[in-house]
Amino acid sequence: MNRSVFQPLLYGFTVIFILALIGAFSFIHVAGAAEANTFQKGDVFAAVGDGKVRHFRPDGTIVATYDTGVPGGEDAGMAFDEADHLYLAHFDANQVFKFDTSGALVGPFGEEFDAHPESIVIDDAGNVYVGHADGDGDVLMFDRTGKLLKRFDLETEWRGTDWIDLAADQKTLFYTSEGHHVKRFDITSEKQLSDFNEDSLPGSTAYALRILPNGEVIVADTEVIVRLSKKGKLVKQYDAPEEDEWFAVNLDPDGKTFWSGNLGTGQVYQFDIQSGEVIHSWNANAISSLGGLAVFGEIRVAQSFTATTPRIPHWLPWLVLFLPLPFIAVWLWHRRQKPTQRSSVRPVPPTSPKPPPEFKRPQPPKRPSPTGKKITHGRK
């Protein structure tokens, strides 16, 4: 390939590569902005029953209501995946539903639920785990498409694998069983572990729980909310007047506060983790009961991403990897053609240098005689 053909190809592939990168990152920016217009960091989602989820700003201003299309009964726990999709456990319909980033219903997710799916956690690989309050009480593991991968048979206390959370090690599942302990199970070895807390919790029934980044655990314990040290010891209690059905626990993206709610009254609270001070309080106007909460951008130790983390589309690494390949192929072909082209030209032998001219001593000029006669030397 001659230079006149190779150079345009080089410039063309370079321009296409740069434009593709600009387009990819522009897509990320625009998509992220569009999502933020619907779900904003710190927004609170309340499962209010009748197959519905209400979307609130942190101050209690309602944004929208999202509907599964399956009325009746109670709803429960929720979670966000890496694409900011919202998952809801519909307790009485024995289903999990999925919503997109605009709040539109995608449809049912998963299969083979037993009885009363109640809590959801998503690991760093995008696998979805669902805990059940009743039936066999197993925890089901799904891939991101909803395909059932495994069933885990866990030891229960009073009622199933009611509320679950996954540790940062991606294998230790913390859960409550409506009893007095936070229980643990290793999903890698599929072995039951010792309870997280040796001493019984102070409330009558333990419900939702969240693992903090420092290893502590917050538990909604009906009459009170408790925080346990990373060794399982009681550190602090949280409460509000006339609230005795604490049910939900969710960590705020600020890392300093958490949210909880009353199952019966539908009142929602935001607490400061260190001081216990109430930051916000408002009512979700539950239809049947306040079965669960979710916070957009919530801290989940099992996830290295948060719901507001900018994400690179799955196709971008493949684009960056394969787009330069045609250029590389052309370049390698061009390199192979060069020796062939040079060998077809007859080499010109070098010319030998000319020898320097012979040196001749200059002769002095002849002087004419003053009389014009020839001058002779010597005797006559």
Which range of 31-45, 229-243, 325-339 scores highest in mean pLDDT? It is: 229-243
Q: Could you give the count of Cα atoms lying within 13 Å of 379 in the half-sphere of its Cβ?
A: 0
For the stretch 6-48, pLDDT in tens is 566 665 666 666 666 666 555 555 454 444 448 999 999 999 9
For residue 275, CA distances in Å to 82, 256, 282 come to 32, 10, 20
- In angstroms, the CA 47 to CA 339 distance is 73
**Percentage of residues in the chain with pLDDT exceeding 70?**
71
pLDDT, average across residues 91-101: 94
The DSSP code sequence of 312-380 is --THHHHHHHHTTHHHHHHHHHHHHHHHHHHHTSPPPPPPPPPPPPPP-PPPPPPPPPTTSSPP--S--
Q: 158 and 144 in contact (C-beta within 8 Å)?
A: no
Euclidean distance between CA atoms 89 and 212, whole angstroms: 23
To which H or E segment does residue 27 belong? helix 3-38
Please name the helix (run of DSSP H) or strand (run of DSSP E) that holds residue 6, with its range, or none: helix 3-38
Decide if pLDDT at 359 tops 70: no
Taking CA atoms, 96 is separated from 55, 67, 105, 125, 307, in Å, by 18, 13, 11, 19, 19
Instruction: Kindly indicate the confidence band of residue 328, based on its pLDDT and cuts at 50, 70 and 90.
Output: confident
Residue 281 pLDDT > 70, yes or no? yes
Q: Write out the two tokens for 199.
A: 């001493």
Kindly report the pTM of this predicted structure: 0.73
Q: What percent of the chain has pLDDT over 90?
A: 67
The mean of the pLDDT values for the chain is 85
